Structure 1
């Protein structure tokens, strides 16, 4: 009995530092990660803050050789007024909104169906198709511009909204992400539904999709942002001013007096404002979707 009472405190004192050491390492690692994240956030915010300050300057102050955050003549919204006077901002914003929304909806439908087929259905050529999808991810989009343009010409879709929408609805990367997520859903759920007489489409719509809401939300946000920011393809496929998207329409606002720095910064802020609002409203879904995607790929 005496031996036991002497050895137990010694064992506890020897093990105490070993239990505290991992906590110290985790705390230090978390602090380092937060410090790096804060530095990166500041590095990103400085150009954004400079663009915002420049947009609210007069053209004289914006083009002055001396760099200053606060203009000598004070802040003004003349650059924004000029942009709205020279361009049709409401129409271009609406065009970007509905084309990006259409691209997002169609992309989600196509990508989810293809990903489900690759994840759950065994068919001939499945491995070849998966290889083609993965290989197509590394193809630079500008390489496909000329073939897509000739295809739109053959279909008589140039200068229409469909010329902007259709070429952007295929996202191999999103198919791969959704397929990886669907692979993690237990097959027992589908087997139980099959025993109850459910069809494959009913299983897809009532079991797979509800369980995949986080990743579907993340994919939808990423596709919407990509479609909204796309400048090159809408610029090539459209000439009609009534269907221009916001990034393309803002580039048509030119001045005969050379580069207008304040006006350019105001245009950039107007183009980025909807995406900032999307992130502010859906940041939880974005973070959750990114985290879920990372887990699905492991």
Structure 2
């Protein structure tokens, strides 16, 4: 057997082992969610699914505020995604194509803000939201998450790579900056826009720390925070907790699977722009 075949076999085995390790928590969560609560903590509970009970899913949907948490997560995540993409695109266009005093300094501030961890701003953000009376509101969840410097950086790199002749041709025809952005640059970067939108939506959907701090009412909680409320006075219901966790992860998993090709293409395009 050739050395190349041995190396490929070893790589295949390592990949399979890694895949099993990665998928096992998801598998175990699913198996737990389709069991009864008594069977979950029973000594007879094995690795294989030995029953199919959907009581945990029924309890999660009808006896918790899951649908309300879904609504809050979808609403806040969509607003964050739209505002971040639109504002990031316009800011990047200005930094890339327009000439004005302080442009380099402003881009330096954007790069510097990319290096600051969001946790370092939590105290000041919370004080600001409290002063604005936005605690326990969508505004309190949304506003601090609108700062996403990486979106501006990626867009600017793409705009910098667009040939200047296209810009000059539009300007000679009487077009303005909005015409350039909406009719020239935007149609060229739908792949990157799609990727950034999906990534931003997933990040906003999975955000836990900030919504956990700014929201105390169950009716205003998002999915990640709401999961922490799925308990009972007599202890934790593991099957129901796993069911809620899987239902919470389902939308972002489905979104990624549906747009996986677009994301891959956009990552390749953005990598080429960076190069």
TM-score normalised according to structure 2 size: 0.90
Report matched runs for 1:112-131 at 5 Å: 112-131=89-108
Cα 1:31–1:223, aligned 2, differ >3 Å: closer, same or farther?
farther
Cα 1:44–1:117, aligned 2, differ >3 Å: closer, same or farther?
same
Between the aligned partners of 1:177 and 1:259, the Cα distance in structure 2 is 44
Cα 1:42–1:295, aligned 2, differ >3 Å: closer, same or farther?
farther
Cα 1:156–1:66, aligned 2, differ >3 Å: closer, same or farther?
same
1:70 to 18, 31, 48: 48
Match of 1:182 in 2: 159
Match of 1:156 in 2: 133
Is the aligned partner of 1:221 residue 2:232? no
Match of 1:173 in 2: 150
Count of aligned residue pairs for this structure pair: 274
Aligned-residue Cα RMSD (Å) equals 2.6
Is the aligned partner of 1:84 residue 2:58? no
Match of 2:217 in 1: 240
Match of 1:107 in 2: 84
In structure 2, stretches of 5+ residues that fail to align are none
Match of 2:110 in 1: 133
In structure 1, stretches of 5+ residues that fail to align are 1-25
CA contact (8 A) 2:230 2:237 kept: no
CA contact (8 A) 1:101 1:224 kept: yes
Q: Which runs of 4+ in 1 moved over 6 A?
A: 26-36
Q: Deviations over 1:120-169 (max 9, x none)?
A: 12332222222222222222212111111111112222222111111111
Q: Deviations over 1:208-244 (max 9, x none)?
A: 1110100000000000000101112112212333322
1:53 to 31, 42, 48: 31
1:268 to 203, 222, 245: 245
Q: Secondary structure at the match of 1:122?
A: coil
Cα 1:28–1:137, aligned 2, differ >3 Å: closer, same or farther?
farther
Q: Deviations over 1:179-226 (max 9, x none)?
A: 111111111111100010100111011101110100000000000000
Cα 1:199–1:146, aligned 2, differ >3 Å: closer, same or farther?
same
Between the aligned partners of 1:142 and 1:193, the Cα distance in structure 2 is 44
Cα 1:224–1:36, aligned 2, differ >3 Å: closer, same or farther?
farther
Between the aligned partners of 2:32 and 2:229, the Cα distance in structure 1 is 20
